Amino acid sequence: MVSEKIKALLKLTGKREAELAAAYGMTPQAMHNKFSRGSFSMEDAIKIGAETGAVLSFTLPDGQRITFDPSDIREKRAVSE
């Protein structure tokens, strides 16, 4: 399960859910709910990787890698009123 692997990553890197929540700008309870639902997007995974110093990538059978970093996250545009 994705939530369990993210928790393992946090443990390996000495981070806590509350620290991740702060980095996201959300409450610890909201982050806990995200873990409970397992509702992590690719964007979330990229941000978590950056926060923990981990690298998120796809590795092909021949060893080639495609790596994702925060520059791959599309900027959210403000909605005009």
- What are the structural domain ranges in the chain? 2-72
38: left (phi over 0), alpha (psi -120 to 50) or beta: left
End-to-end CA separation in angstroms for the chain: 40
Measured CA to CA, the distance from residue 44 to residue 56 in angstroms comes to 11
In a 13 Å sphere around the CA of 25, the CA atoms on its Cβ side amount to: 1
Average pLDDT per 10 consecutive residues for the chain, totaling 81 residues = 94 94 91 93 92 94 96 72 51
Measured CA to CA, the distance from residue 35 to residue 77 in angstroms comes to 27
Q: Any idea which fold 2-72 has?
A: 434 Repressor (Amino-terminal Domain) (1.10.260)
